[in-house]
Structure 1
Amino acid sequence: MRALKDNALTLLFLGLFLATVIGQAFVGLANENEELLRHRMAPIGIGEFVTSSSFLVDLSENWQSEFLQFFVFILATIWLIQRGSPESKKPGDEGAGSDEEQLVGEFARADSPAWAKVRGLRLWLYSNSLLIVMGLVFLLSWLAQSLAGVQVANEEAAQHGELAMTWAQYVVSPEFWNRTLQNWQSEFLAVGCMVAFSIYLRQRGSAESKPVGTPNGTSSVESE
């Protein structure tokens, strides 16, 4: 029970993720079979659908926009601040911070992660590991989206007697960037709103909000 309590936030979102992916699979299958029946084609099963390009392109399209959002936000909050927002460091704290502030090298604590206590490549990798992983997941999901997307586009082109596109042609096509930018703009809007709204609005008890009585111009870090 202690492990469940200590990891409740992660487990909640993992459960929600799995539930929505399963829901997307079954709803998407129903939609796909409706389209097939309209064209007088045989319906397909769940196994065939979840391994299809049409399912993969929708799944990876959402993933890449989410991880891009966090990659940009993590990178931007190193150097940029928003006074009064709990999503930002306080003014004057811009930058990567000193070794003493970051508890690395000789300033590491006894219980600090092992790679925080060393110097060189391992320390650099660990110091930037969150940004690196977010960036890699974004790139891999973007690649998956583009590979599945060109397959779907070519299937549709074949139905209309049109020529197939190469991957290079697809990733510079209006169709690809129309789908991609629709997702990106919504993610950037959501993050921008969270940063700005949290200056003036509160949610008592949430780690994403300042304490209710904290002045609007003060971040939660400054109030501690």
Structure 2
Amino acid sequence: MRHFFRNYSLTLVFGVAFLGVLVAQALVGHADFNERQLAEGFQQISLWSYLTSSDFGVDVMENWQSEYLQFFLYIMGTVWLVQRGSPESKPPDEVGQQTDKEQQVGPYARLNSPSWARSRGLRLGIYSHSLGLVMALIFLASWFTQSVTGVVSYNEQQLGQLQAPISWSQYILAPDFWNRTLQNWQSELLALVSMAILAVFLRERGSPESKPVGTPNDDATGRTG
């Protein structure tokens, strides 16, 4: 059990932390929702009703889609874009997808390489981009879910104000949808550019996200410590 935790501690710790924060968000969100219900003269709802409501769904999905957009952009961007001196970047002379030999695929795959890495054609092509594809699919799925839960939440507010509801196609062009979306996107892009440039000048000893402490600022692009 100790070896299992040691080998997978990064996933386990952050997974448990995620569930804990999600539960906390649900409890706090439920309390906040009911406070607004009372202030507006409406009936309070149960925790389960809140968890299955559009209000909770849109709050969760708008954060998920922006996070997976961040991962997708960073994964794809670092194939072709570089930041000299950053451990988050490849060296400038390694821009691109690299050769089959460097990637250890096809005839250059090792005996213990994943079976899809030893294949050819479409199967190898899919596996070669599987991380970016999955991140993109999760982003699109959560963004779509955000739009669906968002229009339901928006229309509930419209009806509460005795105004006409709108369709999904109208909502995805509405300021409410794009305000929710863009305020998350800008924060994720800020985080990306901050990590790319700050890792050139700052250090965190022992972290693979940082260069070795004594490495010169403009040196060791892609090297971690």
TM-score range, shorter chain: over 0.9
Quote the Cα distance in structure 2 between the aligned partners of 1:184 and 1:28: 22
1:42 aligns to what?
A: 43
Give the secondary structure class of the aligned counterpart of 1:95: coil
What is the match of residue 104 of structure 1? 105
Answer yes or no: is the 8 Å Cα contact 2:29–2:56 preserved in 1.
Answer: yes
Summarize deviations over 1:61-103 as a string: whole Å, max 9, x none: 0000000011111111101111000000001100000000000
For structure 2, which runs of at least 5 residues remain unmatched after alignment?
Answer: none
Deviation for aligned residue 1:39: 2.3
Cα deviation digits, residues 135-162 of structure 1 (max 9, x gap): 0000000001000000011000001111
Q: Secondary structure at the match of 2:198?
A: helix
Distance 2:32 2:73 in 1: 34
Q: Detail structure 1 runs of 4+ shifted over 6 Å in the superposition.
A: none
- Cα contact 1:89–1:219 (8 A) shared by 2: no
CA RMSD of aligned residues (A): 1.2
1:32 corresponds to which residue? Answer: 33
Deviation per CA, 1:144-190, whole angstroms, max 9, x where unpaired? 10000000110000011111110010001111111110000000001
Please give the residue correspondences for 1:1-224 in structure 2 after superposition, counting only pairs within 5 Å.
1-219=2-220, 221=222
* 1:222 to partner: Cα distance: 5.3
Kept in 1: contact 2:208–2:224 (CA 8 A): no
SS for the counterpart of 1:110 is: coil
Unaligned stretches of 5+ residues in structure 1: none
- Work out the CA distance in 2 between the residues paired with 1:196 and 1:41: 49
* TM-score, normalised relative to structure 1: 0.97
For these two proteins, the number of residue pairs brought into alignment is: 224
Change (3 A) 1:65 1:74: same
Distance 1:222 1:149, change over 3 A: closer
Decide whether the 8 Å contact of 1:88 with 1:219 is kept in 2: no
Deviations 1:23-78 (A, max 9, x none): 00000000011111112322111111101000000000000000001111111110
The answer to whether the 8 Å contact 2:211/2:223 transfers is: no
Over the matched positions of the two proteins, sequence identity in percent amounts to 50
